[in-house]
Structure formats: C-alpha cells, structure tokens
Structure 1
Amino acid sequence: MTQTLFERIEEAHRAIRPQVAVTPLSHSPMLSEVTGCDVYLKCEHLQHTGSFKFRGATNKVRLLDEVTRRKGLLSVSTGNHGQGVALAGKLAGVAVTVYAAKSTSPIKLDAIRALGAELVTIDDTPLAVEIEARRQAKLKGMAFVAPYNDIDVIAGQGTIGVELHEQARAAGIELAAIFASVGGGGLISGIGTAIQQLSPATAVVGCWPANSTALYSSLKAGKIIEVDETETISDGTAGGIEPDSMTFGIGQKVIAHSDLVSEEEIKAAMKLLAQTDRWMVEGAAGVALASLLKLAPEYQRKAVAVVLCGRNIMLKKFIEAVK
C-alpha cells in the first residue's frame, strides 16, 4: 500500500539516525522580550553541513538500491542542498555530482568540493540549471536528488516538524505558530505536513523574501507561474520552481499564513539574532525571524518557533548585511 507523506516522514524520523542530528529547540529570552512572544529557535543551523538540507538528502540516499548507488548520484543546488547530498553520499560511499549556478555563494561551492563531490557550474539562472541537471541525470542514467520536488527529500525535511512537536510537548509548550522560510517549498511542505497531523492548532507560517516569490506568487495565482526575481540576501530560497513541483499542491494544504519581508527587514533580523543569541545565520534563516518580528503583534504572550534553517554565509557578506 502506498505510504502517505506523513507516514514517510514518520519512517524517516526513525531511520535517518544517527547520521542526522536532533537539533535543539532553544528558548530565546531576549527575542521574547523584544517581540512580546515566547520565542523558541529550532536550530537547524547546527545540523551537519550547517543546514536542514542534510535531512532530506540522507533520507533520499538511504532509500536508493545498490544498482542505483553504483551509478552515482546527480543533484543541483544553490549551495546547502549540494552540501547535504555530498555528505550523505560520502557517508554511504556513493559518488556525487552537483550542478550549480555560477552565482552561487563561493563558500557553499567550496564546501561542496571539500565534501568530495564533483562540481559543475553553469552561468544561468538556478531554475535553468535545475532543468539541465535533471536532463543530464536522465542522459547518464543516474539518480537525480532534487532539492525540493521529491517526496523522499520532503519527508526528510519533515522530520524537523516531528522533532519540534516532540521537543515542545516534552517541555509542556503549546506552539501557536511555526515560522519557516520558503524557496522551492520542500522545507515547509515537510514541516507543515507533520505539524498538521501532530499539532493541528499550530499555524505554519510561510516566509518569503519580497525579492524572490516564486512559490508565493504561484500559490496566490492558483497555478505555477514564472516570476521575475531580483537579488536577495536569502540566496538559499532564490530561484523559480519546476512546472510540476509537488510542493505547490502540498503548500496549498499546509501553509496557514504567508508573509513577505524586505531585504532591510531580513538584514535587521540577522543583526538582531547575532545580538540577542550570538548566532550568525544566513539570509534564509533571517527571513523566518523577520516575519516573526513583523507579525509579533498577532502572537502576543503566545509560544512561537522560528526555524533557523542554515548558517552558510560568507563572513564578509554577513558583516556587510548587519552594518
């Protein structure tokens, strides 16, 4: 019988240990004071490779048969997913090739190489690179590990939602909302599916940089559309989505509220987090916190969680952002 996405998430939650770490759900007294909410930080920036992406990659690799593994894996990434696949492949003894746009953060590209993956860069948009990577995987007969449009990858990301629920319940916390940044939608599709089953009273808030709204605009339009994008410090959420992306349908079901934040709001959130909790995070993590700061009046005296999805940002870029 075909498993539901939630059943896949539950299985992944049990199966991806010990490779994947259980990240802390950390209370932030200072952010709580600033916002008037009871703020908890889901510290995915402390995950292996510095990002939640290692979860989905690990889950995908564990499900591949031996014949597929021998042929190697091919993936595409704006950085974090590539690192996740590279490490998951390395731990499983599987060769990995990662395609990336030349505009990808150099520190992320260096990290992919350091983890032993072969890196192919293309001077084009992230979506165009993604389409080409899929084409190459098909031509070469290699398994393609998609960054978001893959049920097993989404299930891996959904383990964050299960962890959040378990950690909150153990601490006697009733979360009113969970804030998560959105790019292709794999993270929020997984978290949202888990939370909808385990804690239906908890709202899942999708958070986007106003400069990069592919899935947001598609959800508003009721169909997947192309959207003009401008540069954003949230490079981890940048780029369009595939025309057949399953995250569109899942997102329609699980995202309770959507929010857009400006570049100034993202950078201010990154700076505030460095001041209050001494965490240096990347732009995509700043997006989720920026949305909480903006929407805090709606959650006064309520417990909320912010998913800090990654930390992979160049020091120079971070310093310039928080000046």
Structure 2
Amino acid sequence: MVVDAQSLSSLYQAIAEAHQALRPEVSVTPLTYSAGLSATTGCSVYLKCEHLQHTGSFKFRGASNKIRLLPAEQRRLGVITASSGNHGQALALAGQVMGVPVTVYTTTSASAYKLGAIRALSAEVISLDLDPLGVELEAARQAEIQGKPFVSPYNDPEVIAGQGTIGMELFEQAPDLDAVFVAVGGGGMISGIGAALRAQNPGIEIIGCWPANAPTLQRSLEAGEIIEMEEDDTISDGTAGGVEPGCITFPLCQALVTRTVLVSEAEIKAAMGDVASGERWIIEGAAGVAVAGMKKLAEDYRGKRVAVVICGRNIVLEKFLEAVK
C-alpha cells in the first residue's frame, strides 16, 4: 500500500462514515480528566475509556465495522479470524448481533478467560500450538481454503476505519489535544486514530507505545521494513506478536506515528497500579503500556494536554492483583 495524501483522505472519509453508521451499537466512550496522573506528570492528562466499550476493549469498533460492510453472501458463509482474545471476543459479539457465524483461531497459550468469553458468544474456537503470527497466517490460509472472509485484527482497512472512530470522538471531546498515547500491537488502532486526528488537527503528536519485551512493529519502523524477531513474554498480551508481511498498517504507521516509546514490564505494572489507585479501574496490560509510555515521556509534555487510550480491561483478576501488588 502506498500512503499518500489521497489514500489518507480516503481512510479519513471511511472513518467519518463509520463514526456515524456504527451508532448506537458502538458506544461513544468517555474522555475523563485524571487528577492523579496530571499531578504526578505535570501534564493535563485525559483518559479515553475504551475499557468501557462493549466486550471490554476498543476492538468492538473495528469488528462491527467489518461485519457491517460484508456482502450478504459472505455474511451467510461466516468469517474466520485470529486473536489472542479481545479481537476474537469483539468479532464474536458483532457476529452474534448481525447473525454471522464466527470462527476464532488462537494460540494454546491464550488467556483461558478471554477464550471462555469468546465461546460464550457462540463463536467456534480453534487453538493451535503456534506463535501469534503463525496462528494468524494459518487462519488466513484456512479462510482461503474454505472460501470465507478472513478478518484480520489489524491488516484490514475496514477494521482500521472502525478503530479510527476513537480519533473522531477524541477530536469532538478535546479538539485542542497536543498528543495522544496509544499502545501498539499490529498497528490497526493507532493507524485509525492517527488518520482521524491528524486530518482534523495536523499538529497533534501520535505516540506509539510498545512493551520492550514485544516491539516487533516498532523495530520494523526503525528498520524501514517489516522484520521478524523473537519476543519475550509480556503482561501486555494484547500487543504481542509480529505483523504479517505486506500489512497495510506498516506504511500507515510510517506516515502517521510521530514518536515511539518502549516501556519495561515493571513500568507497565506500575502504570496499571497508578490507574487502579487513582481511578479505581482494573485495566489490562496493553492499557498499562500506553499509560507507562505517557509517564516515561511526561517531561516533554509538561503543561500540555495529552490523552491516553485505555484500550481494554480484559485481564484475569489474579493476574492483575499479582501485577500491581
């Protein structure tokens, strides 16, 4: 994909259309001021509450937009996806609402809690003893064999347009933001948010945040090409894993992400604890990544208005308590 002014304009138009079409099924989530994080960082910190979206994460936006735009024949066939949990759960709910069968391929190491939630929404779950990228490639292969649409968690312009509705809401809620911090896995959310915000506020900084243990896309951006690398375990399981060759999010991130930051597991866990103590919220590791990234770069944004996307809450209670103890 070549990313130029015309392609970014087309993506923005798709996001704007989704912003209207997805209501009321997709909620407009609150943007709340964090007195605690503002006091400790010197920034005016606002939290975009995607953990309050249906299924407990932002993923319901992209999943709903993709299902909404499927032709009737493809809806009857059903769809296949790959997911560690949140995307699968979101697609399962979107499929249930719109009467579309959903099959989710996942790793054997995926959260039992998240897989249980997917099954509860009547989706079929197939676990493979592969890494996340391997599962994704196999799911796409099976979709081709079976003649069904494959719904990528990130490598799909209609999914990206759905995620971009977060950016539309952010601009409506706080049009004078200086920066927004977003956790990144495959890059679908930050691509959509970046396209929506920079079309309306060209000076805003779009800051991608990664766990230092799982920075494949960040390292690819540094290298100027998609690379493969071994990743270590991270509490931010929602952002773990590589990106498939030729994915459209890579050039979009090159064009839209203005800065990147890596955070340690200790910094992620501390950020989760900060949100728990200050806001009284349980958030998952990926959301902690964005908060940790903001804290790490806070000195550069003192006195400025920044937003942090709290992308999800789907974490087992015991794992959360262990992280923040």
- Counterpart of 1:231 (choices 223, 230, 233) is 233
2:207 match? 205
In the alignment, the residues of structure 1 paired with residue 197 and residue 72 of structure 2 have an alpha-carbon distance, to the nearest angstrom, of 33
Q: Secondary structure at the match of 1:175?
A: coil
1:183 match? 185
1:146 and 2:148 are equivalent in the alignment: no
1:300 match? 302
- Counterpart of 2:34 (choices 11, 16, 28) is 28
In the alignment, the residues of structure 2 paired with residue 74 and residue 22 of structure 1 have an alpha-carbon distance, to the nearest angstrom, of 27
Q: Secondary structure at the match of 2:125?
A: strand
2:135 match? 129
In the alignment, the residues of structure 2 paired with residue 145 and residue 60 of structure 1 have an alpha-carbon distance, to the nearest angstrom, of 8
Q: Give the CA deviation at 1:200.
A: 1.1
- Counterpart of 2:217 (choices 191, 215, 218) is 215
In the alignment, the residues of structure 1 paired with residue 288 and residue 143 of structure 2 have an alpha-carbon distance, to the nearest angstrom, of 33
Q: Give the CA deviation at 1:239.
A: 0.4
1:11 and 2:45 are equivalent in the alignment: no
Q: Give the CA deviation at 1:147.
A: 0.2
Q: Give the CA deviation at 1:94.
A: 0.8
Q: Give the CA deviation at 1:34.
A: 1.1
Equivalences for residues 42-81 of structure 1 within 5 A: 42-81=48-87
Q: CA RMSD in A?
A: 1.1
Aligned letter for 1:100? T
2:282 match? 280
Aligned letter for 1:97? T
Aligned letter for 1:317? K
Q: Percent identity?
A: 60
Q: When the two structures are superposed, what TM-score results if normalisation uses the length of structure 1?
A: 0.97
Task: Give deviations 1:24-45, integer Å, cap 9, x for gaps.
Answer: 0011111111111101000000
In the alignment, the residues of structure 2 paired with residue 182 and residue 106 of structure 1 have an alpha-carbon distance, to the nearest angstrom, of 23
In the alignment, the residues of structure 2 paired with residue 103 and residue 224 of structure 1 have an alpha-carbon distance, to the nearest angstrom, of 25
Q: Give the CA deviation at 1:185.
A: 0.3
Aligned letter for 1:148? Y
In the alignment, the residues of structure 2 paired with residue 288 and residue 60 of structure 1 have an alpha-carbon distance, to the nearest angstrom, of 26
Equivalences for residues 100-119 of structure 1 within 5 A: 100-119=106-125
Q: Secondary structure at the match of 1:26?
A: strand
Aligned letter for 1:235? D
2:247 match? 245
In the alignment, the residues of structure 2 paired with residue 243 and residue 142 of structure 1 have an alpha-carbon distance, to the nearest angstrom, of 21
Task: Give deviations 1:267-300, integer Å, cap 9, x for gaps.
Answer: 0000011000011100000000001111110111
Task: Give deviations 1:187-207, integer Å, cap 9, x for gaps.
Answer: 000001111101111100000
Gaps of at least 5 residues in structure 2 are 1-5
Q: Secondary structure at the match of 2:174?
A: helix
Q: Secondary structure at the match of 1:4?
A: helix
Task: Give deviations 1:176-229, integer Å, cap 9, x for gaps.
Answer: 100000000000000011111011111000000000011101100000010110
Aligned letter for 2:93? L
In the alignment, the residues of structure 1 paired with residue 145 and residue 276 of structure 2 have an alpha-carbon distance, to the nearest angstrom, of 46
Gaps of at least 5 residues in structure 1 are none
How many residue pairs get aligned? The number is: 319
1:163 match? 169
Q: When the two structures are superposed, what TM-score results if normalisation uses the length of structure 2?
A: 0.97
Aligned letter for 1:155? A
1:89 match? 95
Aligned letter for 1:212? A
In the alignment, the residues of structure 2 paired with residue 316 and residue 16 of structure 1 have an alpha-carbon distance, to the nearest angstrom, of 34
Q: Secondary structure at the match of 2:203?
A: coil
Runs (4+) of structure 1 exceeding 2 A deviation are none
Q: Secondary structure at the match of 1:40?
A: strand
Q: Give the CA deviation at 1:18.
A: 1.0
Q: Secondary structure at the match of 1:245?
A: coil
Task: Give deviations 1:71-100, integer Å, cap 9, x for gaps.
Answer: 011111010000110000000011111111
2:3 match? none
Q: Secondary structure at the match of 1:258?
A: strand
Q: Secondary structure at the match of 2:135?
A: helix
In the alignment, the residues of structure 2 paired with residue 293 and residue 217 of structure 1 have an alpha-carbon distance, to the nearest angstrom, of 21
Q: Give the CA deviation at 1:135.
A: 0.4
Aligned letter for 1:280? I
In the alignment, the residues of structure 2 paired with residue 178 and residue 278 of structure 1 have an alpha-carbon distance, to the nearest angstrom, of 22
In the alignment, the residues of structure 1 paired with residue 308 and residue 15 of structure 2 have an alpha-carbon distance, to the nearest angstrom, of 20
Aligned letter for 1:203? E
Q: Secondary structure at the match of 2:26?
A: coil
